Amino acid sequence: MRRGRGRYRDRRGPCHQSRGSGGCRQVDQSDASREPGSWRSESGGWIRASRAPHHGFSGGADGQSQPRNVQAPRCRRLPRDRGGALRCLQRQEQHLGDGAGRTTHRRYCCGGCQRSLRCDRGADHRDPHHPAQGPRGSWPQGQRHRQEGRVALRPFKIAFPSSVDQACDVAGDNFADARLLAGGSDLLTSIKERIEVPDLLVDLKRIKGLDGIAFDEKGITIGGLCTLSDVAAHEKVRKHYFALSEATEQAATPQIRNVATIAGNICQRPRCWYFRSEDYLCLKKGGFKCYARWGENEYHTIFDNDFCCAPNQSNVAPILKVYDGTLEIVSTSGTREVEIEDFFTGPTDDISRENILEPGEVVTRIHLPTPAPSSGCAYFEARERQSFDWALASASVRLTFSGKKVSDARVVLGAVAPVPLRRRASEKLLVGNTISEETIDAACKAALEGAILLEHNAYKSKLVEGLLARALRAAAERGKGG
Ligand SMILES: Cc1cc2nc3c(=O)[nH]c(=O)nc-3n(C[C@H](O)[C@H](O)[C@H](O)COP(=O)(O)OP(=O)(O)OC[C@H]3O[C@@H](n4cnc5c(N)ncnc54)[C@H](O)[C@@H]3O)c2cc1C
Ligand code: SF4
């Protein structure tokens, strides 16, 4: 779960602006209210909705109470708090009184209460009659391992294969209960958050030959175990695939980039805070509803958000699409090559997963063809915190020029859809034209076609327009078409 994102901003600005913008509509906006100007008659309604207090539980669309507030003001730890189980208990009561439940408390409190006290688990959102949910304490596949009132991680084994074949063998034999471990920056957190409950971790880091970068006239081949730091700093990447370097060096922090691998980055699980909280059994985890759609959805998708609105947060994935990348995937059944375009899956395909990987399949290499000499690429993202954060939105662009005119274009948006989203309408508008402010404007508008803005993320449409305009200008400049 993202930290420090529980503060509430005056959301009137972005919502207000986007309300009348072309091509986008609020999820709860009726057809009639889409007529120019007619939304004004409802303005009182939506302004009230935007300003509604977000504490505790509030009415949902189905008339049921909905958890609204998964974040609460930071509970500062002071020196006098050390070992203060009683103070923890008092704070816990205070949090529970706010209706925020254990989710908030465990994120921001000192942890002493976790060690010293039996925890109150807050509201239980599971349906006792749901086959996948069952009564409290019986999470699917024994997701909780209880010991004397505390919640412990379920024990798991670790295998250290020295070759890809060994890794596939051991992971394939254990089917769904084995997980591949690379840098661990996402997987280990997911295990602690009980999103992943493996019996076996297959540590890939001792496999030799998967952490190199090779370059020839056909393009660049990056080993799946290459860290983001290595990719960002590699001489050939900086020279021939500069936008990949831009994308990787903006991900996370230097420490995380030193361990996070490129394959792990494209396979990372969603950051939706309801998904990451063990107290919410949402649709993606086998539950009945998407809590984000009617709850705290400011970081969620503005495209394809009918079922699950958790965005794909990878910095690397959109840029691999822009460069027409291919993945080498190895399993016990052999090796297959998959275009990055076909790698990601949306919630309508299978809500429980984000890509086509089957259990025991290892992403061993990523290949990017050599870009045309007259092409320029660029990656721009916006973050809430500049020091490190996941992108709120990103725009990746590749433009190939024939003279001053664009002969080929790739436009991919990140962090606004369940998959890195190619905007073919924008690409079509760009091809055959010179890059001018008019074409940039038209391409940006086309990129937002079909956007469905949720209650708190209308600002993302403006963000996308701004980022895409910058990326197009930079790509044109680099491709000498600007
Ligand atoms: C504080 C923080 C900030 C972050 N900010 C950003 C950001 O701004 N942008 C961004 O893109 N990311 C960000 N991340 C995510 C980070 O980049 C990913 O966690 C990381 O890239 C995952 O790589 P890993 O090697 O650690 O993967 P792991 O955690 O080891 O694995 C992640 C997933 O990938 C699978 N996997 C790993 N390797 C392979 C393989 N070779 N074949 C098949 N499956 C594999 C694992 O089974 C697991 O499901 C952030 C993470 C943190 C903790
Ligand atoms: S957006 Fe997806 S992951 Fe988040 S609560 Fe909804 S279904 Fe779950």
pLDDT tens for each residue of 336-372:
999 999 999 999 999 999 999 998 999 999 999 999 9
Q: Give 293 Cα–ligand 2 centroid separation in angstroms.
A: 8
Task: Report d(CA 182, CA 264) in Å as an integer.
Answer: 6
Q: Is 308 in the pocket of ligand 2 (CB under 6 A)?
A: yes
* pLDDT for residue 167: 95
Task: Check pLDDT > 70 for residue 473.
Answer: yes
Q: What values do phi and psi take at 348, rounded to 5?
A: -75, -25
The 8-class DSSP code of residue 227 comes to: B
Q: Give 257 Cα–ligand 1 centroid separation in angstroms.
A: 9
User: Who wins on pLDDT, 136 or 420?
Assistant: 420
Give the position of tokens 């175990």.
225
Interhelix angle 459-478/437-447, rounded to 10 degrees, is 140
Task: Report d(CA 121, CA 195) in Å as an integer.
Answer: 17
Mutate to test the pocket of ligand 2, among 70, 133, 271, 282 (most ligand atoms within 8 A of CB): 282
Tens of pLDDT along 396-428?
999 999 999 999 999 999 999 999 999 999 999
* pLDDT for residue 177: 86
Q: Give 258 Cα–ligand 1 centroid separation in angstroms.
A: 11
Question: For the residues of 387-427, what is the DSSP string, one character each?
Answer: SS--EEEEEEEEEEEETTEEEEEEEEEESSSSS-EE-HHHH
The ligand 2 atom at the shortest distance from the C-alpha of residue 297 is 1
The ligand 2 atom at the shortest distance from the C-alpha of residue 274 is 5
The ligand 2 atom at the shortest distance from the C-alpha of residue 273 is 4
Tokens for 360, please give them.
């025991």
Query: Cβ of 24: how many Cβ atoms within 10 Å?
Result: 22
Give the position of tokens 């860290």.
227
CB distance 275 to 294 below 8 Å: no
Range in 143-147, 240-244, 332-336 the model is least confident about:
143-147
User: All domains of the chain, ordered by start, with CATH?
Assistant: 7-52+295-308+374-482 (3.30.390.50), 53-123 (no CATH), 213-268+309-369 (3.30.465.10)
Report, as an integer, the average pLDDT of 216-221. Answer: 96
The confidence band for 228, taking pLDDT boundaries of 50, 70 and 90, is: very high
Mutate to test the pocket of ligand 1, among 253, 268, 330 (most ligand atoms within 8 A of CB): 268
Report, as an integer, the average pLDDT of 381-389. Answer: 90
The confidence band for 107, taking pLDDT boundaries of 50, 70 and 90, is: very low
Closest residue CA from atom 23 of ligand 1: 264
* pLDDT for residue 412: 98
Percent of the chain's residues with pLDDT above 70: 68
Walk across the sheet containing 421-422 and list its strands: 375-383, 391-402, 405-414, 421-422
Task: Report d(CA 447, CA 265) in Å as an integer.
Answer: 25
- Own/partner contacts of 125-134, CB < 8 Å, gap of 24 or more, are 125/67, 125/279, 125/280, 125/281, 125/287, 125/291, 126/281, 126/287, 127/287, 127/288, 130/287, 130/288, 132/281, 132/286, 132/287, 133/281, 133/286, 133/287
